[in-house]
Chain A
Amino acid sequence: MGTLYEEIVAYGGEVFGEEHMETLLQCVQCGKCTGGCPSGRNTALRTRKLFRMAQEDMREEIFNAPELWFCTTCFTCYERCPKGVKTTDVIRIIRNLAAKEGHMSVPHRMIGVYVLKTGHAVPIGPDQMKIRESLGLDSQPPTTQKYKEQLEQVQDIFRTTQFDAMIDFDWDKMDLRGKEGGEKK
């Protein structure tokens, strides 16, 4: 296994282009990202520290840092970085690599469960159907939650990409195999 930086470039490169990911090395620790970070006001997230950790190959430390998940992907730092570091995209790729190794909280994995069951991260319930009717809308929108054969296409994607295994989804229970023990971040 190469360095974390090499992994970031390889994994994120196909989606964003390698040069996009390579901007990580341009970070000079000026702190403009951290100064404007709305999360950093309220949480331990220090964006420039994450980048230093990534540059220094502090793989386990960064994967286990709870603040890795406190970035809302607001792109403020991405827009302001004077060195052109593609900050938010680098953070999302670091999260991808962490999640692949099981660093994913139970509440986060539950979002995956909702999508696997209904095609929606926020599914509809009976009360909302009544509200829709009162507004003159169809009680259920024509989405994956309404049409089984359409939902099966989305489920097929999750099987192909092995996202189901990633969140430890049990197809018999249509739920997580276990909700205890998972990382709580």
Chain B
Amino acid sequence: MSEETKEYAYFLGCITPNRYPGIEATTKKIFKGFGIETKEMVGASCCPAPGVFGSFDMYTWLPVAARNLAIAEEMGLEIYVTCNGCYGSLQEADHLLKEHPKVKERVNEVLSKFGREYKGTTKVNHSIVILHDVIGLDRLKERITKPLKDINVAVHYGCHFLKPREVRGHGSSETPYILEDLVKVTGAKEVDYKDKLMCCGAGGGNRTADTPQSLEWMRQKIVNAIEAGADCMVHPCAFCHLQLDRGQAELEKGYGVFFNFPILFATQLIGLAMGLSIKEMGLDIQTTTMPEKLAK
């Protein structure tokens, strides 16, 4: 990964800016602190949701994704994302359009109607890879002013960050390391738990198809983390955040059980260890609240 890349186009997607803007504010702030400038992608849309639109109609999903990629190409910048859905869509679309010229031609015919073209000149990066590989663990460590001592963290990867490996390129999907490394940098302890790599239950239209059933997966995930002694869960995906955080409010409404198990996006956990406040990271306006030992 190039050290000199200092400007990125931030592909916001839907859930980050429209439901959990604290993720957006925190990520921009931390990146800026390390000299990484964020440029806005004017006119970007939904990625569109890979499991949903990819399930409905590949030939609609692809041109909408390609249009988003084209916006970054026009800016001459690589992209970063804060949602595995956006990562899933944009990175996979980029991969498929590069691999299959015939579908690229078909997609560009659709985009040509309004004067855009997918060329294949940008790259889709996940924000946690920028933290891990571009900023780097050593530089992150230097800025940790409030190490998260005695905090046990359950890591949740979501699905489309790691899988399919042949597209994502982050090594084994069964023994990942990036989030574990980031947790370690904060001074917290990463705890293993039952079915750590299990999906949050939201993707592929499942949350929409059958919400109670989808919440049941999420409930299992939270219970497993709590039973392993975790104080919070950290993840790299705005859509998982919605399911894991707001889902806890839905569980309370539907079943009268409120776990209030804190959910944090990766940059928010790092932000805590860097001394950013709960308020500036938007962690005071979500369903789950931060306990005193995390928020001090």
Which residues does A use to contact B, with CB under 8 Å? 11-12, 14-17, 38-39, 42-43, 69-76, 78-79, 88, 92-93, 95-96, 99-100, 104-105, 107-108, 110-112, 115, 119-125, 128, 131-132, 135-137, 141-144, 147, 150-154, 156-158, 160-161, 163, 166-167, 185
Contact = CB atoms under 8 A, between A and B. Distances in A.
Given A79-B173, A137-B24, A112 B44 contact: no
B157 to A, nearest CB: 10
Contact of B113 (A78, A123, A142, A156): A156
Contacts of B55: 69, 73, 92, 95-96, 99
8 contacts: A14-B100, A15-B96, A43-B213, A122-B14, A128-B19, A131-B21, A135-B22, A157-B64
Contact of A144 (B45, B106, B174, B280): B45
B213 A42 contact: yes
Nearest 3 Cβ contacts at the A-B interface: A150-B43, A75-B163, A119-B45
A107 B209 contact: yes
Contacts of A147: 42-43
B294 interface: no
A137 to B, nearest CB: 6
Interface residues of B, number: 71
Given A111-B49, A112-B56, A147-B42, A137 B25 contact: yes
A42 B220 CA distance: 10
Contacts of A105: 208-209
B41 interface: yes
B159 interface: yes
B146 interface: no
Contacts of A120: 14, 18, 45-46
Given A72-B159, A135-B282, A78 B210 contact: no
Contacts of A132: 17, 21
A135 B45 contact: no
B285 interface: yes
B227 interface: no
Interface string B192-228: 0001011101111110111001001100000000000
A121 B85 CA distance: 12
Contacts of B30: none
Interface string B229-269: 00000000000000000000000000000000000000000
A184 B91 CA distance: 32
Interface in B42-64: 42-46, 48-60, 62-64
B209 A108 contact: yes
A147 to B, nearest CB: 6
B58 A93 contact: yes
Given A124-B18, A131-B282, 4 more contacts: A42-B217, A88-B164, A105-B208, A108-B209
Contact of B54 (A11, A70, A92, A110): A92
B69 to A, nearest CB: 13
A71 B102 CA distance: 28
A131 B51 contact: no
Contacts of B213: 42-43, 70
B208 A72 contact: no
Given A70-B206, A93-B58, A96-B58, A160 B110 contact: yes
B192 to A, nearest CB: 17
A96 B56 CA distance: 5
A153 B58 contact: no
B191 interface: no
B165 interface: yes
